[in-house]
């Protein structure tokens, strides 16, 4: 077990003092942000009802987009302005998904972080994240869910309503027949005879 030398103690004291100064600065800036955003507390309270969106993310969204959705004719215009609209690449008559446009890096970063957080939950957004990640990878899934979150933000702010959760099973319930056929085919391929009967 080593001993701290005088120069090491000096460096530790200096580093701890610097951390304390940074913490105090963060607290001061956070207090200023809260004071400036106080008129928008109702909007912030609505935004944090979206899965994956915490207070800091809601503050970033409101600061970057603004509370007035009237300047965007639709959620698609907002997605295009943000740089999160699906890319389009066409070559030899075939359309392929391309890269998204460049937009605000802070807004995009906050939305992608919220999407990854939502992907860990048992919600509609979590189900969407896992469906896309299984086919196209985690990064594309995060961008797609970030686009969905931005669409939700548009409707929450324009309608002045809180987010209404659709549920983890939304996609299965929406495509009940297709899911049933797919699972039946998989069981039949394994050598089972399948007969489906509703329980209710």
Q: What is the pLDDT of residues 11-33, one digit of tens each?
A: 999 999 999 999 999 999 989 98
Residues in the chain: 200
**Tens digit of each residue's pLDDT (9 = 90 or more) over 97-151:** 556 667 678 888 899 999 999 999 899 899 899 989 988 888 989 999 999 999 9
User: How many angstroms separate the Cα of 88 from the Cα of each of 81, 97, 98, 103?
Assistant: 16, 5, 5, 16
Compute the distance between CA of residue 14 and CA of residue 155 in angstroms, rounded to an integer.
49
User: Cβ of 55: how many Cβ atoms within 10 Å?
Assistant: 14
Q: Report whether pLDDT(185) > 70.
A: yes
Residues paired with residue 159 on neighbouring β-strands, in sequence order: none
Torsion on CA atoms 158, 163, 169, 175, rounded to nearest 10: -10
Nearest residue to 65 (alpha-carbon basis) of 87, 80, 50, 52: 80
Q: How confident is the model at residue 193 (pLDDT cuts 50, 70, 90)?
A: confident
Percent above pLDDT 90 for the chain: 36
pTM: 0.72
Domain ranges for the chain = 38-168
pLDDT at 93: 61
Q: Which two tokens stand for residue 168?
A: 């983890």
Place of tokens 């896309």: 132
Residues paired with residue 91 on neighbouring β-strands, in sequence order: 94
User: How many angstroms separate the Cα of 192 from the Cα of each of 12, 143, 183?
Assistant: 68, 39, 11
Considering 9-23, 35-49, 55-69, 87-101, the range whose residues carry the highest mean pLDDT is: 9-23
First to last CA, the chain: 69
pLDDT at 105: 80
Return the sign of the alpha-carbon dihedral for residues 22, 47, 66, 76: positive
Residue 97: strand, helix, or coil: strand
Percent above pLDDT 70 for the chain: 88
Task: Name which of 46-60, 140-154, 169-183 the model is least confident about.
Answer: 169-183
User: How many angstroms separate the Cα of 150 from the Cα of each of 114, 127, 141?
Assistant: 10, 17, 14
Compute the distance between CA of residue 83 and CA of residue 100 in angstroms, rounded to an integer.
6
């Amino acid at each position: 077990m080593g001993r701290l030398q005088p120069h090491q103690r000096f460096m530790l004291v200096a580093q701890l003092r610097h951390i304390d100064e940074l913490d105090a600065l963060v607290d001061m800036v956070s207090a200023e942000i809260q004071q400036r955003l106080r008129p928008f507390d109702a909007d912030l309270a609505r935004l944090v009802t979206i899965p994956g969106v915490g207070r800091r993310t809601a503050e970033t969204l409101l600061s970057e987009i603004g509370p007035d959705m009237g300047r965007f004719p639709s959620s698609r215009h907002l997605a295009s302005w943000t740089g999160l609209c699906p890319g389009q690449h066409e070559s030899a008559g075939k359309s392929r998904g391309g890269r998204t446009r460049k937009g605000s890096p802070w807004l995009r970063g906050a939305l992608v972080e919220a999407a990854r957080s939502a992907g860990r939950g048992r919600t509609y957004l979590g189900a969407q994240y896992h469906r896309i990640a299984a086919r196209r990878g985690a990064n594309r899934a995060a961008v797609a869910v970030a686009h969905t979150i931005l669409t939700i933000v548009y409707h929450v702010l324009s309608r002045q309503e809180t987010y209404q959760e659709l549920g983890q099973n939304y996609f299965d319930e929406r495509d009940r027949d297709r899911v049933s056929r797919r699972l039946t085919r998989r069981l039949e391929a394994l050598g089972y005879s399948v007969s489906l009967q509703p329980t209710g």
